[in-house]
Amino acid sequence: MGSVANMIPGVERASATESLHLYESIINAMQPQEKQDLAIFDAKARQRVAAQVNCNFSQVDDCIAKFLDMKSMVGKVKQLKDEGKPMPKDYQQLETEFGKHCLPGKDW
């Protein structure tokens, strides 16, 4: 069913919007110190956030994993800038600079 749903215009965008709303709720449910230092965002804290947001533990983990992926990507982009290299203009250039499957959540 998932492949058929992706053929309907706007379904993928709606799903992405729902994910963003979920991630925003997860982040808002975290304590300020947990946002600053993910090392203290342990399993107990993740369970608390999952219960507060009404999602499951794996969704909280997925949110944190995507954040860490994006943090890594930002670091790589900063490194390009610091080295005076041009910013990638498309996915092929991104892949050349950062490696295959460099965009979090994308299965190209």
What local confidence, expressed as pLDDT, does residue 107 receive? Answer: 46
Domain positions in the chain are 2-98
> What is the 3 state secondary structure string of the chain?
CHHHHCCCCCHHHHHHHHHHHHHHHHHHHCCHHHHHCHHHCCHHHHHHHHHHHCCCHHHHHHHHHHHHHHHHHHHHHHHHHHCCCCCCCCHHHHHHHHCCCCCCCCCC
CATH topology for 2-98? 434 Repressor (Amino-terminal Domain) (1.10.260)
89/63 Cα distance (integer angstroms): 26
pTM over 0.75: no
Per-residue pLDDT of the chain (108 residues; tens, 9 = 90+): 455 555 555 556 768 889 999 999 999 999 999 999 999 999 999 999 999 999 999 999 999 999 998 888 888 889 888 999 888 888 787 777 777 655 555 543
Q: Which amino acid is at 46?
A: R
